[in-house]
Structure 1
Amino acid sequence: MPLLPDGSEKGLKGHFEEDFSVRTRIGLAPRAGHIDRSAPYKRIATEEAWTFPALVDAQMKYLQSGAAPDDDSLKMAGLFARMPSLQEMLLDLGDLRLSHMDEFGIDRQLLLLTAPGVQVVKPGEGTPLSREANDIAADACARHPDRFSALAAFDPRDVAGSVKELDRALGTLKLNGAVLNSHWQGHYIDEQEYWPILEALEAHDGALYIHPTAPFNAPHYETRGFFGALGGFPHDVWLHTMGLIFSGAFDRFPKLKLVIGHLGECLPLHLYRFDWMQGNADNRAGLRGGQPPVKLQHPVSHYFRNNIWVTTSGVGWEPGIKFCMDVLGPERVLYAMDYPYQQSSDEVAAYDRLTISDEHKKMLMEGNARRVFNLPA
């Protein structure tokens, strides 16, 4: 053990214990090296990103062709492609990823095709790339059945192709739900022409994970440095989630499961106000391009407590986690790391030391993920 300047191991121990106590009291993670290697639960991380070479190549060719629309999500793909260390981790579904999982004590990853995914490539290429993505993901799960599960990719621009591919991916390939990298050129899945996709997911009991992408019309975010996680990402998922609720999608598909990350992008904090202000959009004529009014069957909070789950990706913060468990229910909050964009032994250790019951901790880290995504026992 290294010594403090006074030469004492006792001094070092006291310093550490004081530091640990202060960090725990204010809700920060302990220092590195305190992951519980014999925890009485499996750590299932439920928002773990990956990609594959053909998709990166298709994104870059379209971006550089001059034929692509002015799409900030596609530009984001170009930014990611210029980060070799990030690409190395995203592209690996073998030894490198498994070594990082072992380092951080992660027993299973739920693989999500990273943003912006297949929905920004040249029209007509998205569905074939979805098929390739789902075959690769299924192969990784077959090679490492105790370590990987995966969500299916689909290109929402091709509704019929998406339904067919979801039938194959969730039926034949036995993937565990689907991932949508939020809007595509300003379109959202609450628009009724895309509802056959929601119908297919409900029929398969497949959860839909909406992951952030660059916000639509992003310059006002970019000029302030809020393009990503500081603003644009959460706001985009906020719009998508609230759009689904107020479109009546959950009344039409009452068993549809929606999962959103980053502690619900702050949405749970506003449940009281959403219910109070529901009349601003509920049963109001002329919205969505002049459509007839949609009257919801329930308060907004009902859908959060019956159709929506949140993951903790990137927010290893005890007060926030406990708040979401309190207002949504402990069965509606799932652990996620957000690999490789955010990874820390400090953060994993914070979960081990959450001051919640053993039952709720096991639900958070393992049980809820198994139920929502139909994972193997």
Structure 2
Amino acid sequence: MNEHDGNKRWSYRGCACGGCESTLSLSGAALSRRQFVAGLAGAATVAAAGLGHPQNAMAQTAGAKPYRIDVHHHLSPPSYIAASVGANFGDGLMRGWTPEKSLADMDQAGIAVAMLSVTQPGVNFTSGEAARKLVRECNEYAAKLIADHPGRFGSFAMLPLTDVDGSLKEISYALDTLKLDGIGLLTNYHDKWLGDPAFLPVMEELNRRKVVVYTHPATADCCVNLVRTEPPGMIEWGTDTTRTIGDIIFSGNAQKFRDIRWIFSHAGGTMPFLIERFVRQPLLDPKSKAAVPEGTLAELTRFYYDTAQTANKAAMSALTAVIPTSQIVFGTDFPYRTGIDHVKGLRNSGVFTEAQIMEIERGNALKLLPRLGA
């Protein structure tokens, strides 16, 4: 049985042969000593911040010192906007982004720090030296924003992942020279997901450095314009996040590269809804067993998941039925959504205590990125 820090737990029962009827159930969990102590610590944090009541928490956005950390916040460097115009992709929100718009939204929502990343398609629309050049320019622009606005921004660096040599060079430059906070990857690169053997040298280096890796969904080549009435952002991006989570786990990469700290967007996509299939996969395919010696849940509950565009009762209820609150981080998807949408959404969902919301909005991100607490 696998217990989590939240108020629920999944339990799996069944024989390992895969031929017997197996069940996956959701049941109430007793409060452990560790949970009780964590709850006291969270309550103390809330009290110290004067946020013991939801109305106080909302009032915090109106003038008190901001404290929230947004791990899913997009920037559009000038060179990236120019490239999108030249290649005929992108939309008005992406092309119209400015640092001032980000800061205004952050101030309204009480966000102290936004972790910047370029949205999809990243550099999937180009390749070779052009991709390397654009990645470098975007990473340098992000570093300049961090320097120009002390304490307000961090950044996940772009990589041209299909170019392994270029990616290894950019990891070194972005982390050692620019001092960026982690790496941002798309969920797929031309129908290669993040467990693909082609990316092993990059994963080895990220693991060696114990890097925080933020992922963002992208439209896979296989799945463009599948249904006339459904743009990719409606269904495909959530599904692609789920695909890459599954590929990282069942390729063996989650076991092999234990020191990569993964953040997945949008509450893990459809993973919480498909949890029974994830857990049963090693029973149905014996080849998968080696990738999850402690079970699929042991891997899923090590990852982090953001709240971007999922700060609602349905999504958060599903996520917290599988993942402990300690693994959830605040994300807004700005400029596609606002910070205040998510501040209100988390509270209105009725899923979390105020102490848990404080951990989601700040504490959990600081475990990954302690620099942001300075």
Q: Which runs of 5+ in 2 are unaligned?
A: 1-53
Alpha-carbon contact 2:69-2:365 (below 8 Å) kept: yes
User: Structure 1 CA distance, aligned partners of 2:66 and 2:316?
Assistant: 18
User: Structure 2 CA distance, aligned partners of 1:170 and 1:374?
Assistant: 15
Tell me the amino acid that sits aligned with residue 366 of structure 2.
R
Give 1:243-262 correspondences, 5 Å limit: 243-262=247-266
* 2:274 match: 270
Alpha-carbon contact 2:249-2:291 (below 8 Å) kept: no
Alpha-carbon contact 1:35-1:104 (below 8 Å) kept: no
Which of 100, 107, 112 matches 1:102? Answer: 107
Give 1:342-361 correspondences, 5 Å limit: 342-343=337-338, 345-352=340-347, 356-361=352-357
Query: Which is strand-richer, 1 or 2?
Result: 2
Give 1:53-68 correspondences, 5 Å limit: 53-61=78-86, 63=87
Question: What is the deviation of 1:248?
Answer: 0.3
1:50 aligns with 2:68: no
Give 1:1-377 correspondences, 5 Å limit: 35-37=59-61, 42-61=67-86, 63=87, 78-81=88-91, 83=92, 85-89=93-97, 92-93=98-99, 95-219=100-224, 221-228=226-233, 230-283=234-287, 295-306=291-302, 308-343=303-338, 345-352=340-347, 356-377=352-373
Tell me the amino acid that sits aligned with residue 251 of structure 1.
Q
User: Structure 1 CA distance, aligned partners of 2:65 and 2:85?
Assistant: 45
Alpha-carbon contact 1:211-1:260 (below 8 Å) kept: yes
Q: Deviations over 1:5-50 (max 9, x none)?
A: xxxxxxxxxxxxxxxxxxxxxxxxx99x955336797111111111
Tell me the amino acid that sits aligned with residue 356 of structure 1.
F
Q: Alpha carbon RMSD of aligned pairs, Å? A: 2.7
Question: What is the deviation of 1:329?
Answer: 1.2
Larger displacement relative to structure 2 (344-353 or 99-108)? 344-353
User: Structure 2 CA distance, aligned partners of 1:281 and 1:341?
Assistant: 39
Tell me the amino acid that sits aligned with residue 261 of structure 2.
K
Alpha-carbon contact 2:211-2:259 (below 8 Å) kept: no
- TM-score, normalisation: structure 1: 0.76
- TM-score, normalisation: structure 2: 0.77
SS at 1:175 equivalent: coil
Alpha-carbon contact 1:309-1:332 (below 8 Å) kept: yes
- Change over 3 Å in CA distance of 1:136–1:41 after alignment to 2: closer
Alpha-carbon contact 2:238-2:269 (below 8 Å) kept: yes
- Change over 3 Å in CA distance of 1:280–1:355 after alignment to 2: closer
**Identity, % of aligned pairs?**
22
* 2:44 match: none
Alpha-carbon contact 1:45-1:336 (below 8 Å) kept: yes
Question: What is the deviation of 1:312?
Answer: 0.4
User: Structure 1 CA distance, aligned partners of 2:66 and 2:321?
Assistant: 21
SS at 1:80 equivalent: coil
Alpha-carbon contact 1:212-1:233 (below 8 Å) kept: yes
Q: Which runs of 5+ in 1 are unaligned?
A: 1-29, 64-77, 285-292
User: Structure 2 CA distance, aligned partners of 1:137 and 1:219?
Assistant: 30
